[in-house]
Amino acid sequence: MLSISIKKVIEMSVLLEVKKLKKYYPVLGGVLKRKVAEVKAVDEVSLSMFKGECFGLVGESGCGKTTLGKTIIRLLEPTAGSIYFDVPKDVKEEINKLENSADRDSSRLKELRKKYDLAIYKGIMLKIMRRKMQIVYQDPTTSLDPRMLVKDIISEPLVVQGLAKGQGARSRVVEILSKVGLTEKHLYRYPHEFSGGQRQRIAVARALVTNPEFVVLDEPTSSVDVSMRAQLLNLFQDLQKDLNLTYLFVSHDLSVVECISHRVAVMYLGKIVELAQTEELYKNPLHPYAQALFASIPIPDPTVKKRRIVLTGEVPSPVNPPSGCRLHTRCPKVMEICAKEEPELKDIGNGHLVACHLFQ
């Protein structure tokens, strides 16, 4: 019921396309503070998201999933790569053609990219784009200004974007509040007067007030109690249907992602290692890392005994990732080629992509 059949995949339009996105952090060292190394937080990630889907992004801490989410909406500056948001099909085809041809530096390509490539937007274009892409943070206690009233917190995006003022802003705020399940009398309170679940709702309201099309949900249920979690997840699903939103659901909680996402991607050390529809991925993970990851979720059923794949060692540092396939130092199925060549993310059928030499 949550998975999208193949036919629908082709019919649905691509809302967001990320091409070879990189986010490197320089490591400065020495007396003159020169760049001695780079933290490759996101290393050439390409993916597309369909309109109206919930795209799950999982991985352990340090894999770069939060960085990817924030880079896509330009909270962080991408080091390289392109982001195409809601670009008409023909323009996209033209860009693809130009990029694949020898005509890399053509002025036409530059012109198109300046107009459509989110990664290089500046100034007023960037500001307008922010209306359509928003983010909900993990911890609602720190993501809401403790000195501002709820009404100011939620109306701030409208004021800053110049969309509404005064009475217009107020009625829009009330409208959004009712959508997230809060009422008008909550307007004149401070965030610390609310419970964790309610604060998260306020954060969601703030994200939705400018009518965005794409929302990054950065571990939105991790700081919330188990009983609140279900309420929030219901809210996310209802809002998605109601407002036709597209979600990027970043989380390390694999069971939650399984229940809410249509497709899921697994990240390791800045790269996507596997991507598939949720049911397919959880039933049949192919990449050894994905297999280890799914095998390590504790199942709330004492009668089930699982076969455990324990990955030896620790996650290597993203400053000096291993050569070739990044998992090769810990992989139980490592081969000779894994240390030399990096595997490509290939589609092995059914929209299931894997980056592993076992399938190349």
* Residue 171, burial from CB neighbour count under 10 angstroms (0-12, 13-18, 19+): exposed
Taking the complex as a whole, the smallest distance from the CB of residue 358 to other proteins amounts, in Å, to: 20
Q: How far is the CB of 314 from other proteins (least distance, A)?
A: 5
The answer to whether 343 touches 360, Cβ cutoff 8 Å, is: yes
Complex with other proteins: residue 246 or 278, whichever CB lies closer: 278
Q: Residue 15 has what DSSP assignment?
A: E
| Three-state secondary structure call for residue 44 | strand
In the bound complex, what is the minimum distance in angstroms from residue 139's beta carbon to other proteins? 7
Could you tell me the smallest distance in angstroms from the CB atom of residue 96 to other proteins? 29
Tell me which residue of 240, 173, 176 sits closest to 213, measured CA to CA. Answer: 240
- Residue placing its CB nearer to other proteins in the complex, 149 or 334: 149
Which of 281, 248, 286, 326 is closest to 51 using CA atoms?
248
Residue 347: strand pairing partners = 353
Edge-to-edge strand ranges of the sheet holding 34-50: 34-50, 14-29, 80-85
Shortest Å, Cβ 99 to other proteins? 29
Contact 272, 345 (CB under 8 A): yes
Minimal distance in Å, beta carbon 305 to other proteins? 9
Q: How many residues does the chain have?
A: 360
Please give the structure tokens belonging to residue 291.
């297999």
- CA 281 – CA 58 distance, rounded (Å): 12
Q: Which is nearer to other proteins, 30 or 313 (CB)?
A: 313
Q: Which is nearer to other proteins, 94 or 296 (CB)?
A: 296
Residue number, 12 or 254, with CB nearest to other proteins: 254
Query: Between 14 and 334, whose beta carbon lies closer to other proteins?
Result: 334
